[in-house]
Each structure stands twice: as structure tokens, then as C-alpha cells.
Amino acid sequence: MTEAAHESFEGLLREALAPVEPPADLALRLETALQNITALAADELEAWELSAMRDPRNWARPAAALVAGSAAGVALVALRARRRARADISSGGIVEGARATAAKTVKDLRRETGRLLGER
């Protein structure tokens, strides 16, 4: 391989592996999608009749709704807590110590979970 080809190849690699910034509205779009999934799963579970649960063949839809809704809810809580933590850091409110940071994160998660469950 010649030196020029080697440099050209390195340039192509640098260009291909350059970091890409996500769109500015990505977090908002993700949060909206997670809220929609959570709401749809909750609606599916609310519409289900308990009498139909006696037959195991009917368990697939509520089980899928429960899994999807739970996963979306957990992701939504984590996303909101992370956004709040970033806002605290950017505003100069860096919490000192691992224990204080963990306690604040748990508090944020509890608050977001309460807010999410309170929406229903």
C-alpha cells in the first residue's frame, strides 16, 4: 500500500468515525414516544376483563402490555431523572459525595414514578 493510499484510508476512517451529535429534540421525541407507549399499555390493561383471564390463551396481550408499559415507564422515569441531574450539574449545583448523589437520584426517581403513576 502506498503512502498516499494509506493517508487517504486514514482520512476516510476519521471521517466515518467522527462523533455525531444527536438532534436537539431527540430527548423530547423519546419522552413523547415513551409516554404514548405507557398510556397505550395502561389503556389495554384497563380494557381487559378479569373474567377473560381464566383462559391462558388470553394472557398474551395483557402480558405484552404489562411488559411494554413497565419498560416504557422505567425508561421514562430514568430519562426525566437524568435530565434533572444534567440540569443540576449545568446550573452549578454539583452534589458532593457519592452518598448525596445516590440519595438525590433515588429521590428524583421516586418523584418521577409518583408523577407517572399520578397521571393515570
Whether the predicted pLDDT of 90 surpasses 80? no
Give the closest residue to 78 by CA, choosing from 108, 37, 41.
108
Whether the predicted pLDDT of 62 surpasses 70? yes
The domain total for the chain is: 1
What value does the mean pLDDT take over residues 75-97?
A: 69
Say what the pLDDT of residue 32 is. Answer: 92
Name which residue leads in pLDDT, 35 or 103.
35
**Is the pTM of the predicted complex or chain greater than 0.85?**
no
What value does the mean pLDDT take over residues 8-28?
A: 85
Residue 73 domain flag: yes
Q: What domain range is 74 assigned to?
A: 23-118
Say what the pLDDT of residue 20 is. Answer: 82
Residue 2 domain flag: no
What is the CB neighbour count within 10 angstroms for residue 76? 22
Q: How far apart are CA 21 and CA 12, in angstroms?
A: 19
